[in-house]
Amino acid sequence: MPTTKRALRAAVFDAYGTLLDVHAAVARHAAKLGNKAAPLSALWRAKQIEASWILSATGAYEDFWSITDRALGHAMQAHGVEDAALRADLLSAYRTLGAYPDAAPVLEALRGRGLGTAILSNGTPEMLASAVDAGALGPLLDAVLSVHPLRRYKPDPRVYALATERFGCQPHEVAFVSSNAWDAYGAARFGFRVFWVNRAGGPVEYWLDELATVLPGLDALPPLLRA
């Protein structure tokens, strides 16, 4: 497990899946989907992430809202759900995903320890503004950084550099927190001190037992960090 003793300047968080519950949109409309709700939500998320990887790998770009829409269409079609009104409702719900209960207390605790706090996300600025507002996280963040101006997605190292540029620091002065194993790996390769939030308690991926500190939830983070 990596050491956490060196001085830090900032704690930077992934948004979707880390601070924000990506399955909350489907959960709000689960009654209409029945037993298709969970697998549809999982496929929606998988295709959303897959699209971001393919676009970056090929040097192309389509904003995250557009690929979120496309991924939902694929998931609904794959599960035989034909309901235009429901699709619109699910997309609308995605704009205001609920924050995990531990998100705000952890951000507040880290700010109290003198650390800068930020989101670094694939989401568009508009998506992130809506989600941060819905989760009442705005007052607890110094910055909300989107890949959109860069037109590249994680785990492109240029994305992670947005955080060091914002805080005027070196990678080792940033604690990067993500529940997405592939994102945590990319951040570790960039040089951040990485904390992988393994909420589901799944098997370790991408050598993160060696490259990151593995946490069961966000609330385990504050005792490990100090400015």
Chunked in runs of 10, what are the mean pLDDT values of the chain (227 residues)?
A: 67 97 96 97 97 95 98 98 97 94 96 95 96 94 97 96 97 97 98 96 95 96 87
Residue-range domains of the chain with CATH: 10-20+98-224 (3.40.50.1000), 24-95 (1.10.150.240)
pLDDT given for residue 6 in this prediction: 63
Distance CA(174)–CA(92), nearest Å, equals: 33
Preceding omega of 2 cis (within 30 degrees of 0): no
H or E element at residue 175: strand 174-178
14 flagged as catalytic: yes
pLDDT given for residue 97 in this prediction: 93
- If you count them, how many residues does the chain have? 227
Residues 6+ apart with CB under 8 A from 100: 19, 20, 21, 218
Residue from 61, 53, 63, 41 nearest 126 by CA: 63
What backbone phi and psi angles, to 5 degrees, belong to 108?
A: -65, -40
